[in-house]
């Protein structure tokens, strides 16, 4: 998944109390997250060049069966 313990917190859907607690935790503990590591993972997964390469592979697999 996109969010994990290395880059954030997951909370139950429609749980406003959990959201408030998670937001306070993130505000008070933002220093525990490795920003460079998170940025590198996001770049690797979602940079325009990498997304384009994945799309080309997908299209080729559909076209070539």
User: Which pLDDT tens digit goes with each residue over 6-52?
Assistant: 888 999 999 999 999 999 999 998 888 889 999 998 898 889 999 99
Categorize the per-residue pLDDT at 63 as very low, low, confident or very high, splitting at 50, 70 and 90: very high
pLDDT at 11: 93
Per-residue pLDDT averaged across 3-7, rounded?
A: 83
**Helix, strand, coil percent values for the chain (each to nearest 5):** 70, 0, 30
pLDDT at 65: 79
Q: What is the DSSP letter of 5?
A: T
Q: Is the pTM of this model over 0.85?
A: no
Distance CA 62, CA 18 (A): 42
The residue assigned the tokens 């997908």 is 58
Structure tokens at 54: 């994945």
């Amino acid at each position: 998944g996109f969010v994990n313990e290395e880059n954030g917190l997951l909370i139950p859907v429609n749980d406003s109390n959990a959201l408030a607690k998670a937001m306070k935790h993130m505000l008070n503990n933002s220093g525990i997250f490795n920003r460079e590591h998170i940025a590198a993972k996001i770049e690797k997964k979602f940079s325009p060049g990498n997304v384009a390469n994945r799309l080309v592979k997908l299209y080729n697999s559909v076209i070539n069966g």
